[in-house]
């Protein structure tokens, strides 16, 4: 079975179960060596279609968004402000903050308590920048996206689902050309 409207890549690894991921508009199948990709694609056809529709909607929504134009200095200052504010609010300590361009995510939090911030976040509106930082620092309280994690998030951002949806739209806005090609939307 093929999905002509979305590209996908195969990665065979020493894993127990197959995993499907959408990264920047492209489907990645991570499979154990013995799995048939067509069977996995067929089994998850509805989920894949839902994700494709969601990404197409996010791409459409991105045309209504505006990129913020702030300097690197303004961006770094704002990030450090929110890191200090949120870490104090959650009662945790962030070790270091790094800035670099990331291919698949807005930010990450390491086990060493370091935050890596995607330098492309400088184009996000301030409320989304604050949300991403809060989300990552919350991982210092609760590592996984568990019920406890989302309870902490919803305590600060009751409408966090809207923030997550907006982040997708901004991702597609910033990466529009490559996303359109990967989703085969013209």
pLDDT grade, residue 122 (50/70/90)?
very high
What is the model's pTM? 0.74
User: Which tops the pLDDT comparison, 85 or 173?
Assistant: 85
% of the chain at pLDDT higher than 90: 50
Specify the CATH number of the domain 72-175. Answer: 3.30.2010.10
What does the domain layout of the chain look like in residue ranges?
8-62, 72-175
Residue 179 has pLDDT above 60, yes or no: no
78 conformational bin, left if phi > 0, alpha if psi -120 to 50, beta if neither: alpha
User: Which tops the pLDDT comparison, 115 or 68?
Assistant: 115
DSSP one-letter string for 97-136 = EEEE--SS-SEEE-TTS-EEEEGGGGGS-HHHHHHHHHHH
HSE-up (13 A, CA, CB side) for residue 70? 18
List the single range of 45-54, 91-100, 174-183 with lowest mean pLDDT. 174-183
Compute the average pLDDT of residues 112-135. 96
């Amino acid at each position: 079975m093929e999905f002509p409207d979305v590209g996908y890549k195969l990665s065979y690894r020493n894993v127990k179960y197959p995993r499907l991921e959408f990264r920047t508009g492209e489907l990645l199948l991570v499979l154990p060596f013995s799995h048939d990709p067509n069977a996995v694609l067929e089994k998850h056809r509805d989920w894949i279609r839902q994700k494709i529709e969601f990404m197409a909607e996010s791409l459409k929504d991105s045309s209504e968004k505006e990129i913020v134009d702030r300097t690197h200095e303004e961006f770094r200052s704002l990030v450090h402000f929110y890191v200090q504010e949120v870490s104090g609010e959650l009662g945790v300590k962030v070790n270091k903050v790094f800035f670099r361009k990331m291919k698949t995510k807005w930010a990450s939090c390491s086990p060493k308590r370091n935050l890596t911030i995607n330098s492309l976040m400088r184009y996000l509106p301030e409320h989304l920048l604050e949300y991403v930082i809060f989300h990552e620092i919350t991982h210092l309280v609760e590592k996984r996206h568990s019920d406890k994690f989302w309870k902490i998030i919803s305590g600060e951002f009751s409408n966090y689902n809207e923030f997550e949806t907006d982040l997708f739209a901004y991702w597609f806005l910033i990466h529009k050309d490559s996303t359109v090609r990967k989703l085969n939307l013209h």
